[in-house]
Amino acid sequence: MSERELVRLEVADGVGTIRLDRPPMNALDAALQDGLLRLAAEATERRDVRAVVVYGGEKVFAAGADIKEMAGWSYTDMVDRSVGLQAAFTAVARIPKPTVAAITGYALGGGCELALACDLRFAASDAKLGQPEILLGLIPGAGGTQRLARLVGPSKAKDLIFTGRMVGAEEALAMGLVDRVVPAGAHVYAVAVEWAARFATGPAYALRAAKEAIDRGLSTDLDTGLELERQQFAGLFATEDRATGMRSFIEKGPGKAVFEGR
């Protein structure tokens, strides 16, 4: 099966859905990883995509890497492949638009790491998340030790990674691993699309600036982060949307501006 069949980008009303489709568990083999890398670049470049939902279907988000594929790899095989593995997830994390993972079923190992690469995570109430790589004699290799610790703190990240245990949606919500729990029977994808759709007519460059300031600021000291913020803030005065937003505020009050994304 080709990467284009394993994962695809579907666009409707300004929202792009990166849809994993490798039944039964959406195992993240090399071809699917390559597809993620390509589609993250496409979602970044397309002006008709203003926000992105990452979704694995009604039954499962992604249950991890393809262990059968990896089992026979040598050290040098993994040295070569690990670059592409991290690159795929980093490409998703660097989409300069709001992103949300819509999690059903399992988000384990690489599946959890893919969800961590999104800005927010919405989970069905019966979803399970975790980093079980330790049970294979490994550690997370696609950002789990880094993004998870930054999101939930080092102690909670170590508990999950050291034990390899799965957590339910409510525990994941309590520790900050997910941002919203959707009752079983409801459609978490619809909730994620509803969230993403609010940005379809939003100020695209302001959203991009906010995301870059937050993400890049988290990897540096406060003074450097504040300088990044200052530069992004000042730069937005060159956009049409900034002029539109201020004019609309003065004439009509807050929240009524119609942005063009320019």
Tens of pLDDT, residue by residue over 225-248, are 999 999 999 999 999 999 999 999
Active site residue 127: no
Of 3, 111, 113, 196, which residue is the catalytic one? 113
Counting beta carbons within 10 angstroms of the beta carbon of residue 104, is it exposed (0 to 12), middle (13 to 18) or buried (19 or more)? buried
pLDDT for res 68: 72
- Between these two residues, 44 and 142, which has the higher pLDDT value? 44
Nearest Cα to Cα of residue 35 among 76, 2, 69, 82 = 2
Superfamily covering domain 204-252: Lyase 2-enoyl-coa Hydratase, Chain  A, domain 2 (1.10.12.10)
pLDDT band at 103 (very low <50, low <70, confident <90, very high): very high
Check if 240 is active-site: no
The amino acid that residue 81 corresponds to is R
For the chain, percent of residues with pLDDT exceeding 90: 80
Strand 99-103, strand 120-124: pairing: parallel
Average pLDDT over residues 53-72: 85
- Which residue ranges make up each domain of the chain? 3-197, 204-252
Which token pair is 174? 């309590």
Instruction: Catalytic residue, from 107, 111, 133, 144: name it.
Output: 133
The CATH code that applies to domain 3-197 is 3.90.226.10
Over residues 149-165, the mean pLDDT reads: 97
Contacts of 199 (CB under 8 A, 6+ apart): 14, 50, 51, 97, 98, 207
Concerning whether 42 is annotated as a catalytic residue, the answer is: no
Longest pairwise C-alpha distance within the chain: 66
pLDDT at 3 over 70: no
> Residue 126 and residue 124: Cα distance in Å, rounded?
5
Residue 2 has pLDDT above 60, yes or no: no
When the pLDDT of each residue in the chain is averaged and rounded to a whole number, the result is 92
pLDDT category of residue 4 using cuts at 50, 70 and 90: low
User: What mean pLDDT is predicted for residues 47-57?
Assistant: 97
Distances (CA, A) of 19 to 28, 37, 57, 104: 13, 13, 7, 13
Q: What is the mean pLDDT of residues 180-205?
A: 93
Given 14, 64, 110, 141, the catalytic residue: 110
Residue 198 has pLDDT above 70, yes or no: yes
3-state SS class at 79: helix
Confidence of residue 69 (pLDDT cuts 50, 70, 90): confident
Q: Is the pLDDT of residue 1 over 50?
A: no
pLDDT band, very low/low/confident/very high, at 72 (cuts 50, 70, 90): confident
pLDDT for residue 156 is more than 70: yes
Q: Is 24 left (phi over 0), alpha (psi -120 to 50) or beta?
A: alpha
Confidence of residue 254 (pLDDT cuts 50, 70, 90): confident
pTM equals 0.92
Question: What pLDDT shows up at residue 61?
Answer: 96
